[in-house]
Amino acid sequence: MKKLLKKRQLILVTLVLALGAAVFVNWYYSKPSVAADAKTQPATTKQLFGTQGEEHLGDSQYVHNPYSSASGEYFAGAKLKRSAAHDEAKDTLNAVIINSKADSKAVATASKALQVLAGNIKLEGDCESLITAKIGSECLVIIGEKSAQAVVGGEPLDGASALQIKEILMDKTGFENVTIVELD
């Protein structure tokens, strides 16, 4: 019985030490830098609103909105247009499939095209999510028959980011013809 108790105590002490080491390492690598410059420091209320008589709560210049830029408007408009084009294509293909006068070959072709379209829509969303997660900038992915294009906004891309985007598009789509466009 004493051997069993000593083994449990030894395991408990080992786990507590491992947990303590993990907490220390997490703290060590995530602590804020002491010599952080003023740009990364959060602004004080007085800096944001000026003196007490000049407070303008709700003014858009005091609200951080990452989608208020011109690039954000471009992406919102482009995604809306792409969604409308996808919906129109789906409606057209569904009309062919539902049409009782269409021959079986046309229905089969429309069914196959609808499946390809659905797959492309899913691929575009998956690629956009992965690219946004990897580089932290908003993007738009357009998949054609044998090509894929990515439009990336935000900061200029470095070589590593462009390579990551290309690898994501090639892995997900299987296409060799991949184009990356930076939005100005």
pLDDT tens digits, one per residue of 95-116: 888 887 778 888 888 888 889 8
Would you say residue 111 lies in a domain?
A: yes
Mean per-residue pLDDT over the chain, rounded: 79
Domain total in the chain: 1
Q: Where residue 136 falls among pLDDT bands split at 50, 70, 90?
A: confident
Instruction: Specify the residue for token string 């789509």.
Output: 173
Would you say residue 77 lies in a domain?
A: yes
Would you say residue 126 lies in a domain?
A: yes
Structure confidence at residue 37 (pLDDT): 46
Would you say residue 39 lies in a domain?
A: no
**DSSP states of 43-112 as a string?**
PPHHHHH-SGGG--TT-GGGS--TT-SHHHHHHHHHHHHHHHHHHHHHHHHHHHHH-TTS-HHHHHHHHH
pLDDT tens digits, one per residue of 146-166: 888 888 887 788 888 888 888
Would you say residue 35 lies in a domain?
A: no
**pLDDT average, residue stretch 12-34:** 84
Would you say residue 138 lies in a domain?
A: yes
pLDDT tens digits, one per residue of 54-99: 555 555 554 444 444 566 788 888 888 988 988 898 888 888 888 8
Would you say residue 3 lies in a domain?
A: no
Structure confidence at residue 16 (pLDDT): 92
Structural domain harbouring 163: 70-182
CATH number, domain containing residue 170: 1.10.287.4300
Task: Enumerate long-range contacts of 115-122, CB under 8 Å, 24 or more apart.
Answer: 117/86, 117/89, 117/90, 117/93, 121/86
Pick the more confident residue, 37 or 27. Answer: 27
Tell me the pairing of strands 139-143 and 147-152.
antiparallel
* Distance, CA of 66 to CA of 70 (rounded, Å): 10
Query: With a threshold of 0.85, does the pTM exceed it?
Result: no
Percentage above 90 pLDDT, the chain: 5
Q: Is the pLDDT of residue 51 over 70?
A: no
Q: How many CB atoms lie within 10 A of CB 127?
A: 23
Would you say residue 24 lies in a domain?
A: no
HEC secondary structure over 111-171: HHHHHHHHHHHHHHHHHHHHHHHHHCCCEEEEECCCEEEEEECCCCCCHHHHHHHHHHHHH
How many residues does the structure list for the chain?
A: 184
